[in-house]
């Protein structure tokens, strides 16, 4: 009996420790970004498209936009100040100088709970013809992914996702 009670007490303590820690551990930005990159590239290569490569400046732009949307409580492809995707990418250092052709595209999403998980967000994008078209655009070569978690419109634990795609050519 003592052994069972001790085992039950240990199990209960572990459950409290693990479940109590879950919200803080549930969001790993770099793991979410890596998982999203993997899903994007799997979808692209399955269709015979080139895999996109992470470009630090687009990563910086995407993360800054996700953080800004959480901090300022909005959801839009334009910043609160009115900066477009292209303007935000340029500001982050994704230069147009020296390139004869330059293009950029973006998908954004938000969600909490199971709807904020990477796989759910990606599935929603792929079910949307507009988002799917951006993700699967043949010309993309570069990508930046930014995930941020915080309170959005009073809801805690919202994950905000921004994926910026780019292509520069000489």
pLDDT digits (tens, 9 = 90+) for 31-57: 899 999 999 999 999 999 999 999 999
pLDDT digits (tens, 9 = 90+) for 62-111: 999 999 999 999 999 999 999 999 999 999 999 888 888 999 999 999 99
Global pTM value:
0.83
Report residue 23 as tokens.
Answer: 């919200």
Percentage of residues of the chain with pLDDT beyond 70? 84
Question: CA–CA separation, 135 vs 118, rounded Å?
Answer: 15
């Amino acid at each position: 009996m003592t052994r069972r009670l001790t085992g039950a007490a240990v199990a209960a303590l572990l459950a409290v420790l693990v479940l109590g820690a879950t919200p803080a551990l549930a969001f790993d930005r770099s793991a979410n970004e890596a998982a999203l990159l993997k899903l994007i590239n799997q979808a692209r290569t399955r269709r015979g498209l080139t895999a996109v490569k992470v470009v630090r400046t687009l990563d910086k732009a995407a993360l800054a936009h996700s953080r800004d949307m959480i901090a300022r409580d909005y959801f839009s492809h334009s910043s609160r100040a009115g900066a477009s995707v292209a303007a935000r990418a340029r500001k982050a250092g994704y230069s147009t100088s020296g390139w004869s052709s330059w293009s950029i595209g973006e998908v954004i999403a938000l969600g909490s709970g199971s709807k904020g998980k990477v796989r759910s967000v990606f599935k929603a994008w792929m079910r949307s013809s507009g988002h799917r078209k951006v993700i699967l655009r043949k010309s993309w070569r570069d990508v930046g992914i930014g995930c941020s978690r915080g309170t959005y419109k009073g809801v805690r634990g919202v994950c905000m996702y921004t994926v910026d795609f780019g292509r520069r050519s000489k």
